[in-house]
Amino acid sequence: MKQVALVTGSSRGIGRAVAAELAKEGYAVCVNYLRHRKAAEALVSQLRAQGREALAIQADVADSRAVEEMVRQAESDLGPVTLLVNNAGISWQGLFQDTDDETWDRILAVNLTGARNAARAVLPRMISEKTGCIVNISSMWGLRGASCEVAYACSKAAIIGLTRSLALELAPSGIRVNCVAPGCIETDMVRVLGRETRDMLVAETPLGRLGTPEDIAHAVSFLASEKASFLTGQVLTADGGFIV
Ligand code: NAP
């Protein structure tokens, strides 16, 4: 069966590295983005130049209709999605008391409901084929508390709940659902925190460096592979030892 991956939020950062890694492994890849069209199209051109099928589609994962339309277009152009990587995510730093309704709702809508929307849209084909794989991107902050990132940490803990419950519900259909919980990874999301915070995070990471987007791409690729065929409902923490 043709391998087709949909990677949400793959114009930049971790998602971009995941899309590139999966293409290298032979997947046709749908590159989803929200705002950075040029970056998404540049990645698609790069993957096509390497002889892979790729397609960029704009959709806000928080918008269930837009996600359904994206999956319809991806399936008509590339074929049924066999691997969904729920990566699109946003973060926000601030006191719990200063988190207004709009910020709270948006973080949960993108980070949690976005993953639900994409899973729900790809599942009809996966269930009818009785095969498929979903890899969700959580965070180490979904496994432990994160001061000044309460909404983000809640959304990432919920992704772990989504992973475990969906894994049980979909196992009889031959669909595996796992998640990766990254530590501090060198992307725009961490760069905005500034040099001082970055250095502090490096110092707190036992392996003495920030992770690269490729470190996470390798974890995703493993969970999606046949080598992980007996793994479902699992959380693979890739954090340089941060929360050990
Ligand atoms: P990033 O560099 O900020 O990139 C975010 C990506 O998500 C971009 O491609 C962005 O698209 C896309 N995106 C954002 N909102 C979206 C929406 N509503 N609909 C569709 N796409 C959307 O972030 P990152 O560091 O690579 O993070 C990727 C994932 O890893 C997130 O779920 C994040 O929570 C998780 N994570 C990151 C770290 C870390 O240290 N970096 C640690 C743990 C977990 P545009 O380019 O179009 O804006």
Query: CA 117, 230, 228, 184 torsion: positive or negative?
Result: positive
C-alpha of residue 54 to centroid of ligand 1, in Å: 20
- The answer to whether position 239 is within a domain reads no
Q: 64 in a domain, yes or no?
A: yes
Check if 178 has its Cβ closer than 6 Å to any atom of ligand 1.
Answer: no
pLDDT for 213: 98
* Mean pLDDT, rounded, for 103-126: 98
Residue 38 Cβ contacting ligand 1 at under 6 Å: no
Domain of residue 87, CATH code:
3.40.50.720
Residues carrying an active site annotation: 152
Q: What is the pLDDT of residue 6?
A: 99
Q: Is 190 in the pocket of ligand 1 (CB under 6 A)?
A: yes
Query: Predicted confidence band at 233 (pLDDT cuts at 50, 70, 90)?
Result: very high
Residue 213 tokens read as 């987007």
Segment 197-212 shows an average pLDDT of: 97
What does the CA dihedral 198, 161, 122, 30 come to, rounded to 10 degrees? 10
Structure confidence at residue 125 (pLDDT): 97
Is residue 94 in a domain?
A: yes
How far is residue 135's CA from residue 181's CA, in Å, rounded to a whole number? 11
How far apart (Å, rounded) are the C-alpha atoms in residues 203 and 7? 31
Q: What is the pLDDT of residues 29-56, one digit of tens each?
A: 999 999 999 999 999 999 999 999 999 9
Task: Specify if 21 maps to a domain.
Answer: yes
Report the pLDDT value the prediction gives residue 235, as an integer from 0 to 100. Answer: 98
Is residue 179 assigned to a domain? yes
Tokens of 141: 């902050």
Domain count, the chain: 1
How high does pLDDT run on average in the chain? 98
Residue 201 located in a structural domain: no
Whether residue 58 is contained in a domain is answered as: yes
> Candidates 87, 188, 204, 216: which one to mutate for ligand 1, based on the most atoms within 8 Å of Cβ?
87
Asked if the structure places residue 50 within a domain, the reply is yes
Mean pLDDT of 70-87: 98
Q: Hey, what amino acid is at 109? A: A
**For ligand 1, what atom is nearest to the CA of residue 62?**
18
Domain that holds residue 63: 4-183+215-230
